[in-house]
Amino acid sequence: MKVQRVADPSEFEATLASTLSSAAGRVFVVVFGTEEAATGESWCPDCVTSDPLIRKAVLTVKDSVLVEVPAGDRATYRDPKNFYRNHEQLKVTAVPTLYEFGKDGKVVKKLVESEITSASLAVFVQ
């Protein structure tokens, strides 16, 4: 599994397009609450819990790429004008959200927040 990170919302489209065109395998995108500087962990407890499960599941997919997309600190994420909340395809309603994108740049499927479990991830990556 290769991992790429979107450092800023302005880089999302270019990073996704580049990843989709160069990836040999499937492309997964996880939107999560940004890590806090003091702890190195996301402010979002569900994100902290889901992260290792997502990585373990995606790792089983040959030549997969996981694009990490921090959605901001709590206040930035909760802002109704948040880029990822308003993105045409993402329309994030909760974090974490895991997407699979097809080579055509469209969302194939997604899991949102409490839907992310070991069992659901096993099915998601099949």
> Which residues are catalytically annotated?
44, 47
One-letter identity of residue 64: S
> What is the β-pairing status of strands 107-112 and 2-5?
unpaired
Q: State the burial class of residue 85 (Cβ atoms within 10 Å of its Cβ: 0-12, 13-18, 19+).
A: middle
Find tokens 């999302």 and name the residue: 12
